[in-house]
Structure 1
């Protein structure tokens, strides 16, 4: 009995000792104030979220709490019995952050300097040799039903008792009814993170996505926020920003010391930071809580308020044994921002009002105006300096084969709290909607169309093969395709046939492949092809297929060679961060233009080449994801390198020539925080031995031999010389360099936002044994070739215009012959 009374008293006191209040903090105009600080006398504190809302657990003895915000007067709020929600309005002060000058006198600046100086001592990825932990993540797209007008609202009309016609609309009413019962989207994930040898790997043990039996791996790989706050760049929603604690952060940020706040019994400085620049794309702001003793980050709130209102919160726990703050929880949230345009996110369109402008009439809010995305991750089972070997450390993300098949017991083990009724219904309802509306099938269809295929039963129809045009074949009409998973997951058949209306010849190809290893995407393939190809063109076997509805450059090509080829190759990603093709081929070649190849006095009008080829692309800085369906590159980073070596095989299958070819390409791309981008391309090749002109180099010309500039107007190529005429130059060795710098899009009108790109290209080449090539007249590039130009892309509906000028040693006598005007087209798929 005494024990019962003691327990009853204990639980009663426990219940009375702590309860939760919530509320919202606004300014005098009722606009929410994010990051406002809520503090009690016993040093219990929190901050408001991006909507100005807060939750605070307080003790029964607490009678007041204070609310403070940058540039506003602090307010003391008295607690009232039985009152759970508090609406607090703050009055603005006269001083503001704009009046704060960053100088040596600024205490916040002094603190941030010490944070930067001590980063390596406080960054877990620098201080610890290794660590590992598990994370439970839940992401929802939802809305607060209380914020939605529940009045019936769809173009129905009725008359009230006063005989007045009132238009009503039911969409808001229906949306509120739906959102009261379920979320719009929901996914859960359990991961194990391992760090060692300066590499961090995520292994996904379980994943569950409402409406999908097979998870959408693109969403899983989507980077919502940086894992670490100590990097030189901080990432929010796949956009990188200069970190407020980067080495050179002082030139970009203002800092202000707000307060000192205890966190887990350790005193911290509360420092507000804001980007000096007024551009919304550079508008990172937030609050850093800095440990007063070791100057580590004890909590961080990062925020961007622009087209979207995005916030990322990092919470840490102090580990005395390691003397380090280790991340325990991250929160990511997106709500609507201020802009006049609609945006697309996760495949759907979100509307929102813009800032008030002249003659701008705000539209009626729709249901999506209340929608937000919330992602929360909780870390647990943390171990330090374990030195456990990491399996496949080159992978950034690895998804276990059974990750999407975990039973409910698995999820109940890792969930911090069990799913509420609303979340349970979300899975049930979205799964049924997905089946009824065939969402997964439609998503798969969209993926294939983007890559140029249209699935028809067990076959994916190749859209690139349907129609094209060039000066040799005329209109090329055809059909082609490849079998898909409905036919077989381990075996495929592919092929095409085409007919040229000008040359009157059928072309065709037939091939098959067998899957050797699913995890490394290793295939063994064989094919037979009878077709034509542009002479002296460089093709890297590992280059990704690029689907264009309309590829303009081949239209102007008239010099082709016929080839009949038997090929066997192995495609694989078995080597980390690479993709490779190893190939054996026997090819019969017949030039379809006036050409003879002279080898030691013997003239060849056709010939046989038996070759072995190795082609590999290496992306050492990219992130790769291993899924149950194979390995993919999730984050393409630069530089990346492509190598290709081709060797003829003397006396094998009637091979006529002995030669070697080495081809190389490296690409580099740098994106700037202000929306600009610089791209560099260096490419070269060397052909050694006896090589006919069909297999040499033409350095991608794209200009017609017409009299006037207007007659030469065509579509621009991707990396081609726009002022170089077709068949003007040939080389047995060459080097090509291109630099492009693109500026952020300029808004001229609402739907006219062109992007300016500056382009410079140059090439050098040489021709060994020119006496071997009989027939065509050509020049060499031993003096170099130079052109520069300006592209004004996406002026309207994807169309743009560019102008290029040829200069240097190979400049032509007539001024107008050195000028090329090109039309560009960029297809925006909203990806």
Structure 2
């Protein structure tokens, strides 16, 4: 009796809780559509009733909805769904429907603002601790609806090729022809790419976040793409469609409310703002479900303007009244495969048959636990760690079994990857993320190819470093460069020796013979983007000095957040401009030791075979340098040099604010190049100031004019929360910028050359237009105010250009 009752209960449970409910309505009207057909892989799941509702059960991840007189729509399977179909005939739409106003519904915007305001409160990271697991599957393939047609097309094409008379071909052409046929066949029975990953996510307010990649496998590659493991989703961020800065790219409409799992949800539909024609204004790009109680996001589905270009769906679930992401489904078009064919009725007329290629991403999140037992050891090391990468235990975490097509992908693409050395080609791509051009065993530094400054003019160079393919622990490097204005060669060589492969830890020895601007602020441990931003600081400065010598150093990540570098150097240094220090001349021997610390408590890192990779730079960040020059081992000067940099970026209801504070102090007697330049970017008197931005520069200050032995500077920027659309797909906005710097020099008379100390507050204010006219550039207008301002407008005014991706 108990077994019978249990069986009956199970059947009832599966029927009630295993069902999905879909409501199909007319876009723009909200009225139900009856007899709409719901399909899964060409299998009919049923039709909607008079209320536009259908209850069904399916194992499919996606369904297709069709109705006579309406455009088809796809949807990701969920317990409760609502789909709006647009009418096919534009003339009928223009007659029957009321044209949607080209502005958002104020009620919808009010709800979205509450979603943004409550995001942190609703985020799982507002909990003390939690854990969950995920299974992700990423693939590149033809659209499922096209596979059958593709196979039929290829079969006919191969039959027609057999009928063509054999022509005399070179070995190379014959090989290319055979490879082309093999690729055609491959695409018919296998995906082009498949990557599975199972991960464990741990979070603690005390120890931060830890992501363990439990296992993963990539078709065609011997090792995983570590940099791609860090791809971000909507897991810990507000979807781009509803962020405040993108609000003007869409129009939002509150259309309904619906109950999901006993909770009331607002239904908000949205469309892109560039739908100008009246019929298109009735088409929606997607919809949002917003929980009415907490204003947490329950679900978002967003389609491209052209539906065939792709769609993204994310679904959240409430746990302890916090909203955890439970499912994601992406489909993004990545070009197409085209075949040239002849029309049957015209001998010379050719046309192209195209099959779209898509990236498919399916992610399931499960096994949620909160709170969890917090063990410090579980959070040690970098933010992300790879436990296994051979796919041997993936079956433990799969939420859906592999299809025959996916199984074929591993079998067939693995052999293709080995044959065409896909590992090397993928590594070449990931190297570009770090500013490297990877060619086999050699990495070339992209930032060293061409530079410009007033002393060297155009500087062409090449810097090469042997990577982990040469040796996992030992990495020699060398560079050579030539300045066309000073007509001098510069060169250097070094070698890194790693102490472990588990983290960033290595000894380095190097020799160098080069030039650099006098008084440059330390850039030790800066990332590639920061260095690129500051690379234009000497475009109008010719105060350089030559240095030649040796350096020994040791760098080690003490934790995920803290990095230390300690070094000692022995240099010969000489000014390249007319200079004399304390009547001792312009040439000096220098022996100095230095220690550098970088502290970035919120940045996220992963260890890859090519070294540490910071996949998410988060603020605040702190940099500290201390250098001690000694009159020993041949050194001529005794001095101490200290500098510090702190930066932070945060968002409030008033907008996005960025702050940078930096300063330095020199004690002892040392040449001017061991002091601090104030980083002017301007041309000087009677010249119009137009320059490129720099990390620490001043747009209106004359370049190479001011030097101090102590100073404090600051940079303040605030983005006004008013976002508007100009051209293209970007939104524009305005930043208010305020910069200031002040300091002093104890004995300026020790330095015999033309300069000034800066012992009053130098200030400039500016307004910067982001994504100016829809371009990837920011255009800023700056004006000097306060003590150093002059009666000349031209001297006080400057225009500055910056690439937007460089940040604040």
TM-score of the superposed pair, with normalisation by structure 1: 0.69
Q: Partners in 1 of 2:758 and 2:204 — Cα distance? A: 53
> Is 1:225 the counterpart of 2:234 in the alignment?
yes
Q: 1:332 aligns with which of 329, 332, 337?
A: 329
2:71 corresponding residue in structure 1: none
Residues 3-34 of structure 1, C-alpha deviations (whole Å, 9 max, x = no match): xxx9xx99xx99x9999999997656xx8x99
Matching residue within 465, 478, 483 for 2:466: 483
Whether 1:272 aligns to 2:243 is no
Identify which range, 538-547 or 18-27, moves more after superposition.
Answer: 18-27
Q: Which moved more, 1:529-538 or 1:678-687?
A: 678-687
- Determine helix, strand or coil for the equivalent of 2:377: coil
- Residue in structure 1 matching 2:288, options 278, 286, 297: 286
Give the Å deviation of 1:490. Answer: 0.6
Alignment-derived partner of residue 607 in structure 1: 588
Match of 2:561 in 1: 577
Q: Tell me the residue number matched to 1:234.
A: 238
What is the CA deviation profile of residues 152-175 of structure 1, one whole-angstrom value per residue up to 9, with x for unaligned ones? 69999x9xxxxxxxxxxxxxx999
Deviation at 1:259, TM superposition (A): 4.2
Distance 1:210 1:820, change over 3 A: same
The reply to whether residue 376 of structure 1 matches residue 363 of structure 2 is yes
Determine whether 1:183 maps to 2:188.
no
- Decide whether aligned partners of structure 1 residues 652 and 194 sit closer, same or farther in structure 2, where only a CA change above 3 A counts: same
Secondary structure of the equivalent of 1:426?
Answer: helix
Q: What corresponds to 2:377 in structure 1? A: 391
CA displacement at 1:140 relative to structure 2? 3.2
Shift of 1:549: 12
- Structure 1 504/185 Cα, relative in aligned 2: closer, same or farther at 3 Å? closer
Quote the offset at 1:415 in angstroms: 2.7
CA shift at 1:630, angstroms?
4.4
Please state how far the C-alpha of 1:812 moved relative to its aligned partner.
Answer: 3.1
| CA distance 1:414–1:504, change in 2 (3 Å) | closer
Task: Compare 466-475 and 759-768 and name the one that shifted more.
Answer: 466-475
Residue number in structure 2 paired with 1:762? 740
Give the conservation status (yes or no) of the 8 Å contact 1:21–1:55.
no
Identify which of 673, 694, 700 aligns with 2:673. 694
* 3-state DSSP of counterpart to 1:434: helix
Distance 1:385 1:635, change over 3 A: same
Q: Which residue of 2 aligns with 1:625?
A: 606
Answer yes or no: is the 8 Å Cα contact 2:732–2:769 preserved in 1.
no
| Offset of residue 699 of structure 1 | 1.9
- Structure 2 vs 1, CA of residues 88 and 655 (structure 1 numbering), >3 Å: closer, same or farther? same
What is the Cα deviation at residue 176 of structure 1?
A: 11
Question: Following TM superposition, by how much is the alpha carbon of 1:779 offset from its aligned partner in structure 2, in angstroms?
Answer: 4.2
**2:766 counterpart (788, 793, 798):** 788
* Change over 3 Å in CA distance of 1:480–1:119 after alignment to 2: closer
1:405 alignment partner in structure 2 = 390
Instruction: Confirm whether residue 810 of structure 1 aligns to residue 788 of structure 2.
Output: yes
C-alpha deviations, 1:259-283, integer Å up to 9, x for none?
445x4xxx44344246899799x99
RMSD (Å), alpha carbons = 5.6
Q: Could you say what secondary structure the match of 1:404 adopts?
A: coil
Q: Within 2, Cα distance between the matches of 1:681 and 1:123?
A: 28
Partner in structure 1 of residue 706 of structure 2: 729
Q: Conserved in 2, the CA contact under 8 Å of 1:597 and 1:773? A: yes
| Mapped partners of 1:811, 1:26: distance in 2 | 66
Give yes or no for contact 2:682–2:700 (8 Å, CA) kept in 1.
yes
Give, in angstroms, the shift of residue 431 of structure 1. 2.9
User: For the structure 1 residues 643 and 734, does the alpha-carbon distance in structure 2 shift closer, same or farther, using more than 3 Å as the test?
Assistant: same
Shift of 1:480: 3.4
Distance 1:332 1:567, change over 3 A: same
Shift in CA distance, 276/91, structure 1 to aligned 2, threshold 3 Å: closer
Q: How does 1:447-486 map to 2 (within 5 A)?
A: 447-449=430-432, 451-466=434-449, 468-474=451-457, 476=459, 478-486=461-469
Q: Which sits farther off after the overlay, 520-529 or 460-469?
A: 460-469
Partner of 2:662: 683
What is the match of residue 80 of structure 2?
none
Are 2:597 and 1:593 equivalent residues in the alignment?
Answer: no
Which residue of 1 is the match for residue 200 of structure 2?
Answer: 192
Contact 1:395 1:623 in 2 (8 A): no
- Is the contact made by 2:119 and 2:238 (CA closer than 8 Å) also made in structure 1? no
* Structure-2 change in CA distance of 1:378 and 1:677 (3 Å): closer
Contact 1:19 1:58 in 2 (8 A): no
Matched, 1:300 2:298: yes
SS at structure 1 position matched to 2:199: strand
TM-superposed CA distance for 1:820, in Å, is 3.8
Write out per-residue CA displacement over residues 137-193 of structure 1, whole angstroms, 9 at most, x where no aligned residue.
32334454436876969999x9xxxxxxxxxxxxxx999987663334322112223
**2:222 alignment counterpart:** 213
Q: Distance in 1 between matches of 2:690 and 2:106?
A: 54
**Contact (CA 8 Å) 1:573, 1:579: kept in 2 or not?**
yes
Partner of residue 497, structure 1:
480
SS at match of 1:425: helix
Residue of structure 2 aligned with 1:535, choices 507, 518, 541: 518
Find the counterpart in structure 1 of residue 417 from structure 2. Answer: 434
Change (3 A) 1:556 1:132: closer
Distance 2:30 2:328 in 1: 14
Distance in 2 (alpha carbons) for counterparts of 1:812 and 1:117? 48
Partner deviation per Cα, 1:288-342 (whole Å, 9 max, x = no partner): 578xxxx689993223345576444436598xxxx88996942323457xxxxxx
Cα 1:764–1:438 shift into 2, 3 Å:
same
The Cα offsets for residues 103-155 of structure 1, whole Å up to 9 and x where unpaired, read as 9xx9xx99x999999998x987666x655444333233445443687696999
- The size of the alignment, in residue pairs, is 711
Q: Is the 8 A contact 2:139 2:191 kept in 1?
A: yes
Q: Which residue of 2 aligns with 1:246?
A: none
Q: Distance in 1 between matches of 2:652 and 2:41?
A: 37
Gaps of 5+ in 2: 58-62, 69-84, 88-95, 161-180, 246-250, 276-283, 339-350
The equivalent residue for 2:428 is 445
Aligned partner of 1:774 in structure 2 is: 752
The secondary structure found in structure 1 opposite 2:238 is: strand
Q: Structure 1 residues 400 and 235, CA, compared in 2 at 3 Å: closer, same or farther?
A: same
Query: More relative contact order in 1 or in 2 (CA 8 Å, sep 6+)?
Result: 2
Name 1:661's counterpart in structure 2. 641
Q: 2 CA distance for matches of 1:802 and 1:114?
A: 32
Shift of 1:206: 0.5
Q: Which secondary structure state, in structure 2, belongs to the residue aligned with residue 220 of structure 1?
A: helix
8 Å Cα contact 1:22/1:56 also seen in 2: no
Q: Which moved more, 1:143-152 or 1:761-770?
A: 143-152
- Measured in 1, the distance between the counterparts of 2:358 and 2:620 equals 39
User: What secondary structure is seen at the aligned counterpart in 2 of 1:662?
Assistant: strand
Distance 1:782 1:445 in 2: 50
Structure 1 CA distance for aligned equivalents of residues 360 and 568 of structure 2: 51
